[in-house]
Amino acid sequence: MTLTIPINAIELAPGSMMSIHNLSWQDFETLLTDLGESRNTRIAYYQGTLEIMSPLAIHERPHRIIAYILTTLLELQGRDWEDFGSTTLKRPQVAGIEPDTCFYIQNAALVQGCTDLNLDNYPPPDLAIEADVTSITVVSAYEAMRVPEIWIYCNHTLKINLLQGDRYIESSISPTFPDLPIITLIPQLVQTAIAQGTSRMLREVRQRFRPVTE
């Protein structure tokens, strides 16, 4: 007798991950429907392997703080942006992923009015932010999606990964903010936010990086 358990009946403890192998794209689409939108898990699919991850609360907070820092810096520079959060990104038959959060910056104007992010019609997000990623499946999915830049925050450090060809390379400079020491600045600001409060940290960022006016 074969016992079949509905995927939405499986509960993952915070910080745990489950892998399912030899999964077709159609199976992946069906599982996404079964899992639904109201959940606290993240998924990553690449060439038949699906990973379902349940992040710890301690890993959730940093990427949200980083997103606040990012948008504050963009606002100070007078640049447009669109936040697509953990929208499921898909490259049919190959890969699917839900970032912790993702942004359109250089291509912000191209996604204005977008309510259904189909990568056949729109470019991939310009920047994705992830906290505590160690999975090969996650990185491979991003490579298939051709997201130009990923920030990965882990153990109080930030790694910047830039897509070159079909692979990511680690960089000390973010092309999104080439004149800022992002790789050291972000961890410092995250720790300040946790210790002193996010609102206070953002006020200090605005004061520190506001444009000089005559």
pLDDT at 5 over 50: no
String of DSSP letters for 26-58? HHHHHHHHHH-SS-S-EEEEETTEEEEE---HH
- The packing angle between helices 182-196 and 198-209, to 10°, is 140
pLDDT at 188 over 60: yes
Question: Any idea what the CATH number is for the domain that residue 140 is in?
Answer: 3.90.1570
- pLDDT value, residue 191: 96
33-57 pLDDT tens trace:
888 776 778 889 999 999 888 877 6
Q: To which residue do tokens 């605005």 refer? A: 206
47 domain-assigned: no
127-153 pLDDT tens trace:
999 987 666 668 899 999 999 999 999
- pLDDT value, residue 7: 56
Which range of residues forms the domain containing residue 84?
Answer: 57-209
5 domain-assigned: no
pLDDT at 18 over 50: yes
Output the CA angle 71-73-78, nearest 5 degrees: 90
**Would you call 204 exposed, middle or buried from its count of C-beta atoms within 10 A (0-12, 13-18, 19+)?**
middle
51-62 pLDDT tens trace:
888 877 667 789
Average pLDDT, the chain: 88
88 domain-assigned: yes
Task: In the chain, count H helices and then E strands.
Answer: 5, 11
Global pTM value = 0.87
80 domain-assigned: yes
Q: How many domains does the chain have?
A: 1
Buried-exposed string 48-70: b where 16+ CB fall within 10 A, e elsewhere: ebbbbbbbeeebeebbebbbbbb
Please state the length of the chain.
Answer: 214
Q: Which of 171, 208, 163 is nearest to 188 (CA)?
A: 208
- pLDDT value, residue 211: 83
